Structure 1
Amino acid sequence: MDMIEIDGTLGGGQLLRSALTLSLCTGIGFTMQDIRATRARPGLMRQHLTAVNAAARVGNGTAAGAALGATTLRFVPGAVQAGDYHFAIGSAGSATLVLQTLLPALWQAPAPSRLRLEGGTHNPLAPSADFISACYLPALARMGVQVNLQLHQYGFHPAGGGVLEAAVLPCAALSPCSFDQRGPLQSVEASVLMSGLPAAIGQRELDVLASRLGVPAHPRQIRMVRPALGPGNVAAVTVQHGDHVELFDSHGERGVSAEQVAGRLADAVQQYLRGTACVGEHLSDQLLLPMALAGAGSFTTRAISEHLRSNARLIEKFLPVEFDWQACADGWQVRVAH
């Protein structure tokens, strides 16, 4: 079997997750050294280990060295099998990142699959379940991928306890898409998610967003999580253009005021609205892999992140594609082609 050697110092957990996805989709194994070596806590954490073990199970593969804290992994995939799967992270680690690791393999399977994941659904350093539903899955749908995602229980750091279920239909071949133009602005809407905290905090966040962005600040835009498994707060703004949707969010944290949480969210939204690039920073990174599997595609984005660069170079190791990015009006156009 072909094996690819990967230097884990070139990226964090995302490099590992992308390698797992690509290995499942191509049948090419890999060895990764120095996993997350530059992080404060190097090696595999619970969410990474869950992704590794889940990939091995879905793909009938082997994962030598898969253990908490491990910095070296040898992954050998087998044949991906459709089915009903249930994986629990056992912490507030991101369930959505595990979901993104497995989805491409499952939509390439010959039959429908159902995936139940337990862990964090709204984490500061991962796409939220709301982002997945509003941005990521609609982008995949344009390529022909059909996924129905249900959020059964919210999970915040550090309590966890979130539950997601995804039904994935087979997709024999992805259709190449371009995400270059947003289309006309249709709406800007704010909402606040509160768990185990006073609604007044959420109202203060809405008041700031109303002042900065001109959006309504009605109490009905505050979603209260009941029962609350632990404290949590996420302020979000959804920007709807004719041809694209972006969701921006900001997470409450101890010692940070509601006004600061909403203020940094408003900054991000205003920066996006001032520009013309279609895809936000986080979605731009996540589009690379499905675009590569489609064999072609493009998008415009404001900046080229290190995450995007390292992810593109990794994808090129597994698939016969090449990425390039060129400066355009007020950002960059990223293209992939055979």
Structure 2
Amino acid sequence: MLEIDGKEGGGQLLRTALSLSLCTGQAFRMEQIRAKRSRPGLMRQHLTAVQAAREVGDALVSGAVPGSMTLQFTPRTVRGGEYRWSIGTAGSTTLVLQTILPALWLAGVSARLHLEGGTHNPLAPSADFLADSFLPLMRRMGLNAQLSIERHGFYPAGGGALTMGIVESTAPAPLHLAARGELLEMSATALMSSIPGRVGERELDVIARRLPIAAEHRHIRQAIGSPGPGNTLMVRVQNAEIVELFTAFGERGVSAERVAELVSSEVSRYLESGAAVGPHLADQLLLPLALAGGGSFSTQTPTAHARSNAALIEKFLPVEIEFEQKGSDQWWVSVTR
């Protein structure tokens, strides 16, 4: 039973532990879960990830109740098939997907996953990010999966729906991304639900001033069937080797111009860094590369999430993850056995 201290981490530490436990068969006990957060312990979105991992891995679980700060998880056999989970809030569906996806991939089984909850909310990768940035790289590593957005769900209403189909896939292969390659195209999309169209126009006006995106690549898109209001501004940077998607979210009290300034600044920093991988995608590449037994990429300054994830991965798997600074905002990340 692997003992893990969850005091310094958030929900991501728990999700990574669940994912690695399913992949390796290693049981774990996590204590002091989210102890330093204003609302410590397990919340609804974390419990949905635990439930999903329990069902997919036929696991024995104790401590999976709201507010619990201790969880014990013992996986048995990873099983494919059809699954449905509802978070019941605007909690992120994509984080639940990423918890169980590696285990289904590694087991070489087919599955169809249906999730309801948030699809576009702060502090989590959006469904568009998974579809445009994350999954294409996973396909290069051997994963055969498709994601479809049936309904958009924004914070705080939620109510979104995603479906992912996974076909039996080959074992993860190493991936190396030293450079992003030639810039092929940049585009911007204001995704709107029950928000005046003028808000999206104001966001795109700022984008036009801050980034070299032509008028024909600036779009306003209406969300599909969202039960509540919401606004997301996305900038897609398509390079020869990788697609990065940068996102900012409209919220009460924050002007449309401010939303556009935030995402524009993030894109500009990425372009100036010369790195292949943005900081958020870098967080999510570590686990697949570790399962593949190797890989490397250039990225911007690593986040605290990336470093804590790396330390936890090294507890479960016989790999070493190194971060080496190459410039003011460029780092080299390598995963080796």
Q: Does the pair score TM above 0.5?
A: yes
Instruction: After the TM superposition, list the runs of 4 or more consecutive aligned residues in structure 1 that deviate by more than 6 angstroms.
Output: none
What residue in structure 1 maps to residue 243 of structure 2?
A: 245
After superposition, the C-alpha distances for 1:72-97 in whole angstroms (9 at most, x for unaligned) are: 00001010011100011011100000
User: How far apart, CA to CA, are the structure 2 residues paired with 1:206 and 1:49?
Assistant: 38
* 1:251–1:261 Cα contact (<8 Å) kept: yes
1:97 equivalenced with 2:95 (yes/no): yes
Shift of 1:292: 0.2
- The separation in 1 between residues aligned to 2:319 and 2:119, in whole angstroms, is 32
- The equivalent residue for 2:292 is 294
CA-CA distance at 1:217 after TM superposition: 4.4
Native 8 Å contact 1:203 1:219 kept in 2:
no
* Residue aligning to 1:212: 210
Cα distance in 2 between the residues matched to 1:262 and 1:313: 35
Rounded Cα–Cα distance in structure 1 between residues aligned with 2:144 and 2:68: 35
1:158 match: 156
Report the Cα offset of residue 172 of structure 1.
3.7
Asked whether the 8 Å contact 1:176–1:295 carries over to 2, the reply is yes
Residue 332 of structure 1: aligned partner: 331
Residue 29 of structure 1 and its aligned partner are, at CA, apart by 0.5
Checking the alignment, whether the CA contact within 8 Å between 2:244 and 2:278 is kept in structure 1 is yes
1:55 is aligned to 53
Aligned length: 336
Separation in 2 of the partners of 1:218 and 1:243? 23
2:183 corresponds to: 185
Deviation at 1:121, TM superposition (A): 0.1
- Higher deviation after alignment, 151-160 or 226-235: 226-235
The alpha-carbon deviation at position 48 of structure 1 amounts to 0.4
What is the aligned partner in structure 1 of residue 138 from structure 2? 140
User: Aligned with 1:9: secondary structure?
Assistant: coil
What is the identity, as a one-letter code, of the residue corresponding to 1:7? D
Instruction: Tell me the secondary structure at the aligned position of residue 126 of structure 1.
Output: coil
Unaligned runs of 5+ in 1: none
Summarize the alignment of residues 1-338 of structure 1 with structure 2, pairs less than 5 Å apart: 3-217=1-215, 221-329=219-327, 330-338=329-337
- Once residues 143 and 226 of structure 1 are traced to their aligned partners in structure 2, the CA distance between those partners, rounded to angstroms, is 31
| TM-score normalised according to structure 2 size | 0.97
Q: CA deviation at 1:216?
A: 3.3
Secondary structure in structure 1 of the residue aligned to 2:282: helix
Structure 1: distance between partners of 2:335 and 2:32:
28
Q: Distance in 1 between matches of 2:79 and 2:97?
A: 16
Q: Which moved more, 1:324-333 or 1:147-156?
A: 324-333
Range moving further from structure 2, 161-170 or 223-232: 223-232
TM-score, scaled to structure 1: 0.97
Task: Classify 1:256/1:245 alpha carbon distance in 2 versus 1 (closer, same or farther; 3 Å).
Answer: same
Contact 1:190 1:216 in 2 (8 A): no
Deviations 1:176-217 (A, max 9, x none): 010111001111110010001101100000000011103234
Q: Contact conserved, 2:157 with 2:228, CA < 8 A, in 1?
A: yes
Asked if the contact 1:104–1:290 (Cα under 8 Å) also holds between the matched residues in 2, the reply is: yes
Q: CA deviation at 1:219?
A: 10
Unaligned 5+ runs, structure 2: none
Contact 2:153 2:226 in 1 (8 A): no
Amino acid at match of 2:67: G
One-letter code aligned to 2:81: G
TM-superposed deviation, 1:63: 1.4
Cα shift at 1:139: 1.2
